Amino acid sequence: MSTAVLEMNDVVVRRTGRHIVDGVSWTVREGERWVVLGANGAGKTTLLQLADTLLFPTTGTVDVLGERLGRTNVFEVRTMIGLASSAMARRIPADETVLDVVLTAAYAVTGRWREEYEGVDEDRAREVLVDWQLDHLADRLFGTLSDGEQKRVQIARAVMTDPELLLLDEPTASLDLGAREVLLQLLTDYSREPNTPAIVMVTHHVEEIPVGFTHVLLLRDGQAVAQGPLRETLTRENLQATFGLPIAIAEIGGRWVARAEAPTAS
């Protein structure tokens, strides 16, 4: 079995007396691309914060890229993790150019603080902009982009440094249908490249699972309802246990659709 990139063992995160993560054990291995699915408040963002070493568990253990949180200095590990989230996006200055937003990831800072970049970094940034269909926007200011373009910039920034683990917190939230589909296709293309890192993507909707993703973790009230390979885990029963109502689910060409089941006459 391939190496574990992220390993959580009986993890509890307690805040204001409540368990917002409640006994989660979960392993993400090299080459796997996970979706974390659950209702608002289920604890999805909190799990990503643990994975990004921004938060330590109250009890239980978290190992990220072979390092145990709380036991080692996590600064080095953090440089090997890419994160795109709305919290991250809020820290990007609206008047920074797209090229600089991506380029500054090389220095793990938001906001340009160093005038001289290595040419090799700029080459890499321009390559990433091409990959995420942003090259025509390189000189545009971040604040002037559409939601879909801003999301792609956030991901481009997160992959700029070739992370070992890529964390995406609701990358398709608030996008219109066209922008969502463009982004999902780019994620599919990216996941097919050689040397793609392990990916964990949080979403609310099964329709937003990109083709090429492999596993799902279903979360309810901080607890793992089910986890495993997509096809065997995304079942009617598991979705009902996650969302609290009967849900019909179907796969069409590697994509998923779900809806509440009509009540049956009794």
Q: Which of residues 155-184 bind ligand ADP (CB under 6 A)?
A: none
CA torsion 122-97-199-86 (nearest 10°) is: 160
Residue 214 touching Mg ion (CB under 5 A): no
- The yes or no reply on residue 201 touching ligand ADP (CB under 6 A) is no
- Min CB(49)–Mg ion separation in Å: 10
Sorted by sequence, the CB contacts under 8 Å of residue 50 that are 6+ apart come out as 8, 11, 13, 21, 56, 57, 62, 69
- For strands 223-229 and 215-220, give the pairing: antiparallel
Q: Helix (H) and strand (E) counts for the chain?
A: 9, 12
Task: Name the minimum Å distance from CB 172 to ligand ADP.
Answer: 14
Q: Which two tokens stand for residue 189?
A: 């293309």
Question: Residue 264: CB partners within 8 Å, gap ≥ 6?
Answer: none
Q: Which of 6, 8, 24, 42 binds ligand ADP (CB under 6 A)?
A: 42
Which positions from 93 through 152 interact with Mg ion, judged by CB under 5 A? none
Contact between 159 and 168 (Cβ < 8 Å): no
Among Mg ion, ligand ADP, none, the one that 20 touches (CB under a kind-dependent 5 to 8 A) is: ligand ADP
Residue 86 touches Mg ion, criterion: CB under 5 A: no
Instruction: Return the DSSP state at 191.
Output: H
Listed in sequence order, the residues at least 6 apart from 104 whose beta carbon sits closer than 8 Å to its beta carbon are 96, 110, 111, 112, 113, 157
Kindly state the smallest distance separating residue 20's Cβ from ligand ADP, in Å: 3
- Site membership for ligand ADP, residue 43 (CB under 6 A): yes
Q: How far is the CB of 23 from ligand ADP (least distance, A)?
A: 15
Closer residue to Mg ion in complex, CB, 27/45: 45
Distance, in Å, from the CA atom of 201 to the CA atom of 219, rounded to the nearest integer, reads 13
Pick the binder of Mg ion from 9, 27, 45, 86 (CB under 5 A).
45
Task: Report the first-to-last Cα separation within the chain, whole angstroms.
Answer: 48
* 143 vs 244, beta carbon nearer ligand ADP: 244
Q: Does 45 bind ligand ADP (CB under 6 A)?
A: yes
- Stretch of 14-22, 74-82, 120-128, 150-158 contacting ligand ADP, by CB under 6 A: 14-22
Choice between 140 and 204, CB closer to ligand ADP: 204
Contacts of 67 (CB under 8 A, 6+ apart): 74, 76, 77
Applying CB under 6 A, the residues found at the interface with ligand ADP are: 15-16, 20, 38, 40-46
Applying CB under 5 A, the residues found at the interface with Mg ion are: 44-45
